[in-house]
Structure 1
């Protein structure tokens, strides 16, 4: 425990910031002299605790260079810009020094007694100093009884014949020999370390055993009687044979963690000249009590049969960043204790039921960034202790194989829809997929025990029917940012998506193109504390839109003009930056609130500015003046009197307008009923002529169900005796087997009028566009307008004008638009009936007879 505290103390000393202290000065125990062009050690106060002298030109340090600094704990002398000499007992006046940093200085001369007189030194940094073998052979570290960490990396050490004094370093825990030139390490070289337990020993990046032939019979076990928590022998160019020989040589040595990353084991993709590891490669580690093995960043292509069977105590296996494409059945047999398996960043394409057999205790499997597109349904279901499965950034199109586990990561795949499977999870991540239908969201909200659901960066935009809201009492965080909920909500469906989420605390709805919030959409979110609505198109927020207990609100990057300050009164923090504030008198109350509120305003104040009017565009709301708005308040009493007067005078008129506007559909029905009574229900008859049909309805077959319910049942005589028109349409009246063009021509020339129902499906149907062109041809032939165009759905002018036949019609004619409000449908059908009944005049007078466009606000 004491050793760990010493290490922690060293880290804390280096982590304490020195910002705020000017260079070449002393402040609160810190002497900062970096980049001060010093050639000698400066005189500093006796109370100095940290002395930072790196990046200077100090050439020599002797026993008299430092004054007596009893409280000094950290000395930084690294990175001198000139060759460096350290003389005998150079640091003897620093009796309580804990950390000595000489790294990245070219030490020209280092006296063997340079570090004498430092009984409390626990960390010595000598990396990148150009030191040779002598530093470990000649007893430079004698009497450093507290030394815990020794960094000798990036030097020129070729041999590790340690001086016997290493045996006396009872506190030594960490030694770093990485990035040297050590080609061989044998048993006799590390004898002074026998009997010790080291937390870290690194021989990485030395070309160890890879450039020379080793007689292991003579070299024997370099780590005999040495216990190592972590042994790092990575990046030494080890093949399968070298790894096998080394494993056999160190057999019996206690090694808790072995780091073998950046190796060259494995054939890689498309090669066969280098072996993949086999059953014998790690057999020598059977008695080492190995718990962690890192084999990442290599070229392993195939995990062969019983590859790790001797590693009975292994708990973590890292195989990331290899070229693994094949897992042989039984590859993991013997790993009875394994808990973490990392197979990320490999070349796996398919997973089979037998791939993970032999892993009874595995809890975490990382398979992200492979090419997995197919997984058999039983692949993970027998892993009873599996807690987390990470399948991000693969090519999955379905998830039938997913077991009920607490944490599931499936982001960055190709999921278009979710199957109806039994699923129980605490955390589900599905961001960056291709989910469109909100039915999948309703399904996920019903997953038992779900606490966090992440669906960012999908395509949620469709809601074609009503769903049963979830009663999820466990969900706490829901991420729906960067979707297209506006398209779903503007259909009038799925406004109840958040019903029953009474424990939800955090909700992200940013970047969803929202220009309105459905009434009561957040009414059930009684526990919601954080709501993120940034980067939408909201222009207005009403007091009833937000949950009562909300504390943090983000409405940045919207289009708010004059927000009501009472909306934010109960919040603790709000982000209102980058909105379209309209800086007129209506905003004065908000500006006054802005300057007086105790609510924390997130974001930069410079991003709260006026957008309109142009005179103050870009001016901060903190700087804009509302002078003159008081005069308007003085007129309020007069305005109120006038308001009362005109209110009384116009009450009847306003009520009439309100009734007609609100209940225009009902009023229209009453009008038609009265008309039939007055005229004794005489229907307007059709003039006798040579036409077989009153009208030909041209529409996409994908719209048939809607056309049948909306038009045919209300107009066609074969659907009801109450209807007046004999209509022609493809599904019923076209001659089976006849050429489709001939059917279209017959329908057009046999009908008094042609009604084209232009929808999204119509624009994608070549036959429909062809029929539209033929109808225009008849218009030219008859010199009258027999074509009636009805636009169905939210098609823009641009989408319509992209098609040549429709563009030509729209440039000379007006068209009808199907109403979005249901109460306008009867009025519209009456209008359409009049157009069908209307007797067309000749072309020369056609310009005076135009169809009146029916908008959604009619």
Structure 2
């Protein structure tokens, strides 16, 4: 894994200057021309160091194709979409070229002198170019005195007859012939390589020696007088016989790492007609100083007696991904230097005391992903140098066999409890088991020198009497995520589980169904720096809940409603994503803190959102305005006095309020009847004036049916003789074919008042919002309140304030809200009629600023 991370980092560092510029351009010292439909090499500055020409249509490279580029180090010509011809001295104008990449371009003609004049070239990539044996026989690589790596994989090479000029390539270290068609390799063919030490010689996936019979007496040792750090002959379909013959043939050649993966040695599971390797299979490697042997991805079923007995210097043995079910007694005899043994992904079910005899220096044994359910007590006891034992993903139910070693992996088994055994370890991994009783945790916390303890994905939920908490001065990281600690803590048990952990630095308690934190549960965690409480059910965090020196806190995916920002002020980073914040005035201090704090907030602002109320659902907390909350806070000091006064008044008028609440519609109708009787001789007729209509009703067409039933039928004279208002609305009174803006303006200026019925549809209707603006303009012109705004439905202040024209009105004027209770409709219609008929004088201005009234009338 480390190698992969280093490789990825290297790719990022190398690619970052390249991908920082657009395709088909030059930036600094890099010319990038991928997918630019080029048919020839473009002109680039002589300061260019990297020229990338892959994925184009360049057909021919001649000695005149490149200008003199003395500083060029990297040239990519691979993956051309057309066949490529490379003439004599094609790269002579690139004297300091270090890397030449022609891979994945079909080379139809390659001149034998094509690579002349490249004294500093150290890497040549010719993979997947359709090249034949001629590229080796005819001296194409002569005079490349600095060449280190030569990649000829995925070509059509049938035999390896090296030209004598290879003897002069003293820098050559790596040659890759994988995925060709080389059937045999003999001593005479590789003679020019004798005396060299190569870091890699790959003949993988060639069907080498597997299709044609070989006369080894004539073929002899192909690697005579050579030293190979890594010889890769994997994927060639080798049986036990082929492997044994090859081992005997290369007897004496120095090969430190032999890769034989993807072989067909072994009988597999349920077969008996194919041999498993035996003592003679690798006997020929006795004098080859093999340090690393990779036999993974095969069909070996049993490890026979002294199978590797001749490999005295072997340190790493990889037998992963076979079908190993049996280990004969003495199978590892002779491996006196072995340090790493990989038996993962096999079919082992039981391990016996004699299985690992002879491995006196082994430090790492990997047995993960087998089916091991039974292990004898002394199986690992005599491995004196064992440092790490990996038994993850097996079927173990007990661990009496565990030796005292620094690192133990036991995750993914079936452990229900742990025996009371003497145990010493620095690292213990027990995740994905079936541990339920927290007494097990008390036991593990007393393991001497323990630094990291991983118990994720168990079932910790109960707590029976066990050992008392003991001071642990070594534990630094404790993983308890994905358990059920809430069940134990809500019963009042195991509240002292973290007592004495004075050196603990990282604690994971995610996914434990926690609703609250027991008081003082973290009191001893004075060194804690990171705490993960994510994916629980916490609704509140109280002062004192968190350790004083905490630096990083994860409380994401909880149910926090009103977090106290003082809890997070001392942190350096906090994760608050995906909680259930209630966006009302009580959250204002938290919102202010979010927008001002220097604490690092993990995640996107969109992931910290309101869940309540409905109008703020999924709205980012950062963007919520708490305007007006200061006034509410200022009134808090009056609450006690108002409470006493309200209590007295409530007692006195309880019956009155009850009658008004339940019978207010009847009361209002009685009031109106009395009014008509009193003023029957003095009808309140409308005074004639310059206006054609009493009011213009502005509403969305989608609300017409509701407006008709709720307003027009009760107010408009044309709907009933008992109504007394002449109303204007679009569906009836606008002139067909007339410009809509003109109709709106005529309606506004022909009416005494303008009534805007603001609903959700109104806010989405551009014409309605335009009419609202014109009505405001008339009010400014007349210096009078001609605009009456009625809010219909459950529209919040926030939704109204999003629109500029409505916001300016709400900040300065009163508005009405349609009643939710049907009993109040008649009263509301009477109130609205009075507002329409009311004659108002122009409002005075104080210092040119209109007096603001923001009261909502309901």
Provide the TM-score with structure 2 as the length reference: 0.73
Q: List aligned pairs for 1:192-271, cutoff 5 A.
A: 192-271=192-271
Q: List aligned pairs for 1:779-790, cutoff 5 A.
A: none
Q: Secondary structure at the residue paired with 1:622?
A: helix
Q: Secondary structure at the residue paired with 1:392?
A: coil
1:157 is aligned to 2:139? no
Counterpart-to-counterpart distance in 1, 2:158 and 2:182: 4
Counterpart-to-counterpart distance in 2, 1:304 and 1:143: 50
Counterpart-to-counterpart distance in 1, 2:13 and 2:537: 50
- Is the 1:556–1:578 Cα contact (8 Å) retained in structure 2? yes
**What's 2:26 paired with?**
26
Q: For 1:390-416, what per-residue CA distance to the aligned partner results, in whole angstroms no more than 9, with x for missing partners?
A: 000100000000000000001111111
Alpha-carbon spacing, 1:13–1:514, altered in 2? closer, same or farther (3 Å): closer
Q: List aligned pairs for 1:576-655, cutoff 5 A.
A: 576-639=576-639
1:111 is aligned to 2:116? no
- Is the 2:286–2:310 Cα contact (8 Å) retained in structure 1? yes
Q: For 1:695-726, what per-residue CA distance to the aligned partner results, in whole angstroms no more than 9, with x for missing partners?
A: xxxxxxxxxxxxxxxxxxxxxxxxxxxxxxxx
Counterpart-to-counterpart distance in 1, 2:303 and 2:217: 30
**What's 2:792 paired with?**
none
Alpha-carbon spacing, 1:8–1:543, altered in 2? closer, same or farther (3 Å): closer
Q: List aligned pairs for 1:654-693, cutoff 5 A.
A: none
Alpha-carbon spacing, 1:508–1:487, altered in 2? closer, same or farther (3 Å): same
**What's 2:681 paired with?**
none
Counterpart-to-counterpart distance in 1, 2:326 and 2:149: 42
Counterpart-to-counterpart distance in 2, 1:17 and 1:301: 51
**What's 1:120 paired with?**
120
> How many residues are aligned here?
641
**What's 1:489 paired with?**
489
Q: For 1:84-109, what per-residue CA distance to the aligned partner results, in whole angstroms no more than 9, with x for missing partners?
A: 10111111111111111100110010
Counterpart-to-counterpart distance in 1, 2:233 and 2:449: 44
1:191 is aligned to 2:191? yes
- By how many angstroms is 1:466 displaced? 6.0
**What's 1:555 paired with?**
555
- By how many angstroms is 1:68 displaced? 1.1
Q: Secondary structure at the residue paired with 1:586?
A: helix
- Is the 2:443–2:467 Cα contact (8 Å) retained in structure 1? no
**What's 1:813 paired with?**
none
- By how many angstroms is 1:69 displaced? 1.0
Q: For 1:410-443, what per-residue CA distance to the aligned partner results, in whole angstroms no more than 9, with x for missing partners?
A: 1111111111111000000111111111111111
Q: List aligned pairs for 1:429-828, cutoff 5 A.
A: 429-465=429-465, 467-639=467-639
1:280 is aligned to 2:276? no
**What's 1:39 paired with?**
39
**What's 1:390 paired with?**
390
Q: Which has the larger radius of gyration?
A: 2
Counterpart-to-counterpart distance in 1, 2:9 and 2:175: 18
- Is the 2:439–2:466 Cα contact (8 Å) retained in structure 1? no
**What's 1:91 paired with?**
91
**What's 2:416 paired with?**
416
**What's 2:137 paired with?**
137
Q: Secondary structure at the residue paired with 2:19?
A: coil
Counterpart-to-counterpart distance in 2, 1:408 and 1:466: 23
- Is the 1:574–1:599 Cα contact (8 Å) retained in structure 2? yes
- By how many angstroms is 1:640 displaced? 6.8
- Is the 2:189–2:222 Cα contact (8 Å) retained in structure 1? yes
Q: For 1:266-314, what per-residue CA distance to the aligned partner results, in whole angstroms no more than 9, with x for missing partners?
A: 0111111111000100000001111000000000001000000100000
**What's 2:366 paired with?**
366
- Is the 1:465–1:493 Cα contact (8 Å) retained in structure 2? no
Counterpart-to-counterpart distance in 1, 2:483 and 2:34: 51
Runs of 5+ consecutive residues of structure 1 not aligned to the other structure = 1-6, 647-858
- Is the 1:183–1:207 Cα contact (8 Å) retained in structure 2? yes
Q: Secondary structure at the residue paired with 1:630?
A: helix
**What's 1:168 paired with?**
168
- By how many angstroms is 1:9 displaced? 14
Counterpart-to-counterpart distance in 1, 2:419 and 2:14: 53
Alpha-carbon spacing, 1:329–1:512, altered in 2? closer, same or farther (3 Å): same
Counterpart-to-counterpart distance in 1, 2:472 and 2:191: 64
- By how many angstroms is 1:18 displaced? 2.1
- By how many angstroms is 1:549 displaced? 0.4
Counterpart-to-counterpart distance in 1, 2:10 and 2:468: 59
For the aligned residues, what is the CA RMSD? 1.8
**What's 1:81 paired with?**
81
Q: Secondary structure at the residue paired with 2:621?
A: coil
Counterpart-to-counterpart distance in 1, 2:238 and 2:11: 33
Runs of 5+ consecutive residues of structure 2 not aligned to the other structure = 1-6, 647-858
- Is the 2:442–2:466 Cα contact (8 Å) retained in structure 1? no
Counterpart-to-counterpart distance in 1, 2:134 and 2:54: 25
